[in-house]
Amino acid sequence: MLDLKKITYQPQTGNKKILDDISFNVHENELILICGKSGSGKTTLLEIISGLTIPQKGKITWKNKTISARQRRWISGVVFQFPERYFLGTTIGKELQIGHKNMREKNIDIVLQKVGLSNINLTQPPEQLSGGQQRRLAVAVQLLRNPSILLLDEPTAGLDWSMKNDVKNLVLNLKNKNTIIIVTHEPSLFKGITSKIINIDRGKIKKLLIENHGR
Ligand SMILES: Nc1ncnc2c1ncn2[C@@H]1O[C@H](COP(=O)(O)OP(=O)(O)O)[C@@H](O)[C@H]1O
Ligand SMILES: [Mg+2]
């Protein structure tokens, strides 16, 4: 279980708290949703969970042990908003190999299957893929690191409706096999498939909804 206790964050440069007393937990292989209006602190919370930002107060444990920011970076696979803007590889195959000197072809095959991109031509540039497929590729890149927690920031942002559904189907495929935190300002798309919905408003948890049918 990932457990956040009383997380408070105020940037050096700011005069107000961006996150204030945030506590919740995520079980292993659970899929949860963090939603809230733009500017409510969702991305900052994701950065704290994944060890990119250090909160002033609070404690984060994983499997009942406190974990440092460095350890959180290690166990987290983050797909940032508009991940396709940051593709570096000239081909899909190269994109998947970045950061893995000796990546076995078999591992790539397994991950591509997980994200539903099995029969893809790896020699084409990532830009050749549809919007939904590009998001799948970005998730595949993270899955290759074998993260304990997968964090998706606004995975449906900027996509048309059929592509949004494509991303939802991807999430459904990964569900129950991965611990997933989705951050979104459009929760309606994911409603009914998640076990917990955390609503953030101006840095505070406004509502925490536990849904039974999500598990
Ligand atoms: N480094 C920073 N310094 C000052 N303010 C920041 C910084 N990072 C984010 N903010 C502010 O914190 C608030 C939350 O931002 P963010 O986490 O990106 O929200 P969301 O992802 O929900 O849109 C916003 O008002 C934003 O302007
Ligand atoms: Mg954001």
Q: What CATH number is associated with residue 29?
A: 3.40.50.300
pLDDT tens sequence across 174-206: 999 999 999 999 899 998 899 999 999 999 999
Instruction: Kindly report the backbone phi and psi dihedral angles of residue 179, in degrees, each rounded to the nearest multiple of 5, phi listed first.
Output: -85, 120
Judge whether 72 and 50 are in contact, CB under 8 Å.
yes
Whether residue 36 has its Cβ less than 6 Å from ligand 1: yes
Region of 207 (left: φ > 0; alpha: ψ -120 to 50; beta: rest) is beta
**pTM of structure:** 0.95
Q: What is the mean pLDDT of the chain?
A: 94
Which atom of ligand 1 is nearest to 41's Cα? Answer: 17
Closest residue by Cα to atom 9, ligand 1, is 44
Euclidean distance between the first and the last CA atom of the chain, given in angstroms as a whole number:
15
Evaluated on CA atoms 63, 66, 72, 74, the torsion sign reads negative
Is there an atom of ligand 1 within 6 Å of 184 CB? no
* Mutation to probe ligand 1, out of 19, 44, 53, 200 (largest number of atoms < 8 A from CB): 44
3-state SS, residue 72: helix
- Output the six-digit token pair for 132: 């939904």
- 210 touches 196 (CB < 8 A): yes
pLDDT mean over 2-27: 96
Number of H helices, E strands in the chain: 6, 10
* Residue 38 CB–ligand 1 contact under 6 Å: yes
Judging by DSSP bridges, how do beta strands 196-201 and 204-210 pair with one another?
antiparallel
Number of structural domains (the chain) is 1
Ligand nearest to the CA of 45: 1
Nearest CA residue ID for atom 26, ligand 1: 39
The answer to whether residue 160 scores a pLDDT higher than 80 is: yes
The pLDDT tens digits of the residues spanning 73-119 come to 999 999 999 999 999 989 999 999 988 877 788 899 999 999 999 99
Its domain, for residue 125, covers: 2-214
Helix orientation angle between 161-174 and 131-143, rounded to the nearest 10 degrees? 20
User: Residue of the nearest CA to atom 5 in ligand 1?
Assistant: 14
CA of 186 to the centre of ligand 1 (A): 18
Q: Is the CB of 50 under 6 A from ligand 1?
A: no
Q: Which atom of ligand 1 is nearest to the CA of 183?
A: 21
pLDDT(33) > 60 = yes
What are the beta bridge partners of residue 4?
24, 60
